[in-house]
Amino acid sequence: EDKVVQSPLSLVVHEGDTVTLNCSYEVTNFRSLLWYKQEKKAPTFLFMLTSSGIEKKSGRLSSILDKKELSSILNITATQTGDSAIYLCAVGVLGGAGSYQLTFGKGTKLSVIP
Amino acid sequence: SQTIHQWPATLVQPVGSPLSLECTVEGTSNPNLYWYRQAAGRGLQLLFYSVGIGQISSEVPQNLSASRPQDRQFILSSKKLLLSDSGFYLCAWSHRRGPGNTIYFGEGSWLTVV
A95 and B CB contact within 8 Å: yes
How close A72 gets to chain B, by Cα (Å)?
Answer: 16
Give the distance, in angstroms, between the CA of residue B95 and the centroid of all CA atoms in the same chain. 16
A98 and B CB contact within 8 Å: yes
Residue A60, pLDDT > 70, answer yes
pLDDT of B58 reads 86
**For residue B19, how many other CB atoms are within 10 A of its CB?**
21
Nearest to residue B75, comparing CAs of B91, B96, B63, B57?
B91
B100-110 tens-digit pLDDT: 678 899 999 99
Residue A98, pLDDT > 70, answer no
Q: Which of A20-24, A52-56, B51-55 has the highest mean pLDDT?
A: A20-24
User: Is the Cβ–Cβ distance between A82 and B36 less than 8 Å?
Assistant: no
In terms of pLDDT, which residue wins out, B78 or B29?
B78
Find the residue in B nearest to A104 (Cα).
B44
Cis peptide bond upstream of B18, omega within 30: no
Eight-state DSSP code of residue A52: T
Mean pLDDT of B9-30: 94
pLDDT of B97 reads 66
Mean pLDDT of B85-94: 93
Average pLDDT over chain B reads 90
φ, ψ for residue B15, nearest 5 deg: -55, 135
- Burial annotation B34-71 (CB, 10 A radius, 16+ → b, else e): bbbbbeeeebbebbbbbbbeeebbebeeeebebbbeee
Distance CA A4, CA B37 (A): 16
pLDDT of B75 reads 97
Going by pLDDT thresholds of 50, 70 and 90, the confidence category of residue B95 is: confident
pLDDT of B109 reads 94
Chain B residues within an 8 Å CB radius of A31: 99-100
B9, with CB counted inside 10 A (0-12, 13-18, 19+), is exposed
CB-based contact B100 A100, cutoff 8 Å: yes
